């Protein structure tokens, strides 16, 4: 009788162990799938931001940016095709459908829209893409990571949101430089964005650099991101200080792009750490 009970206990424990093993495998697979979705959406945010800046520059008179705008337009469409692989998950996010509607609106009215309307639609589209990313991150605890407050590895989302401050600064500054004239409204927007850059973007970089686990990994890219922000803010000051900007719009666009890319590099590094953690989990 004792042998029978022991055998039953062993079978129950084995069954429980197998169940836990397969549950963890399913959870790991789901987490890796979500991270793959976030990576595609992060690329989409980057390219829509680039499309916005180039479009605003072209519509403000800098026709030399037209070929680059068309190339980026094609990349955005390709990324939307890639997103079809994740449609069963993205379908449940209303912000995703709103982002799709914005892109349709941009495509249908590409020739008729004025620069300001085009800018606002792009802004709304990016807000919806970021909201979709945030929804995925919150559902799968990719920011707080099991704690009550955001963890250092979870700062990727704040960094990604901050790219939109840089991105809007790129678009508006490119438009000001392309027009080469005093635009009070655009200058006021750019000045407000510069204040946001100073208040928000440096703070998250400092938090990353001060984390004991991440310090050695992010030290160089954080300093590079800070340097790129410094240069961008100098270019913004030059634009705002001159009544008739003499700054090359393509050059300004490139300076802002370098600042944005430095932020995205850190986003990618932190997402890669989350992927490695998922792959190594038992």
The per-residue b/e assignment along 200-228, b for 16 or more CB within 10 angstroms, e otherwise, is ebbebbeebbeeeebeeebeebbebbbeb
DSSP string, 64-112: GGHHHHHHHHHHHHHHHHHHGGGHHHHTT-HHHHHHHHHHHHHHHTTTT
- Rounded CA gap, 142 and 157, in Å? 9
pLDDT of residue 226: 98
pLDDT of residue 25: 56
Which residues of the chain have a pLDDT value below 70? Answer: 1-28, 110-112, 180-182, 245, 281-282
pLDDT of residue 8: 62
- Rounded CA gap, 23 and 161, in Å? 33
The per-residue b/e assignment along 88-127, b for 16 or more CB within 10 angstroms, e otherwise, is ebbeebebbebbbebbebbeeeeeebebeebbebbbebbb
pLDDT of residue 1: 61
pLDDT of residue 167: 97
Backbone phi and psi for residue 227, each to the nearest 5 degrees, phi listed first: -65, -40
Model pTM score: 0.89
pLDDT of residue 280: 83
DSSP state of 183: -
pLDDT of residue 243: 72
pLDDT of residue 38: 97
pLDDT of residue 183: 81
Helix or strand run (H / E) with residue 198: none
pLDDT of residue 52: 96
């Amino acid at each position: 009788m004792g042998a029978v009970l022991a055998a039953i206990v062993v079978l129950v424990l084995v069954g429980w162990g197998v169940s836990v093993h397969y549950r963890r495998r399913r959870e790991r697979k789901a987490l890796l799938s979500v991270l793959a979705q976030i990576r595609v959406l992060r690329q989409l945010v980057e390219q829509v931001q680039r499309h916005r800046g180039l479009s605003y520059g072209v519509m403000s008179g800098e026709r030399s940016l037209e070929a680059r705008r068309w190339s980026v337009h094609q990349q955005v469409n390709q990324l939307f095709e890639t997103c079809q692989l994740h449609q069963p998950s993205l379908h449940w996010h209303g912000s995703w459908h709103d982002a799709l509607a914005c892109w349709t609106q941009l495509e249908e009215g590409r020739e008729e829209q004025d620069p300001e309307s085009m800018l606002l639609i792009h802004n709304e589209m990016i807000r919806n893409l970021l909201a979709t990313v945030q929804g995925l991150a919150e559902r799968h605890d990719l920011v707080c990571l099991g704690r009550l407050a955001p963890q250092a590895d979870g700062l990727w989302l704040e960094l990604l949101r901050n790219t939109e401050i840089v991105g809007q600064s790129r678009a508006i500054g490119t438009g000001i430089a392309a027009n080469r004239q005093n635009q009070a409204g655009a200058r006021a927007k750019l000045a407000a964005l510069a204040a946001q850059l100073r208040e928000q973007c440096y703070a998250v970089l400092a938090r990353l650099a001060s984390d004991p686990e991440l310090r050695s990994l992010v030290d160089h890219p954080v300093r590079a991101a800070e340097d790129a922000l410094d240069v961008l803010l100098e270019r913004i000051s030059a634009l705002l200080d001159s009544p008739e900007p003499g700054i090359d719009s393509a050059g300004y666009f490139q300076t802002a792009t370098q600042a944005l890319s430095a932020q995205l590099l850190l986003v990618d590094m932190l997402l890669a750490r989350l992927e490695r953690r998922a792959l190594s989990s038992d």
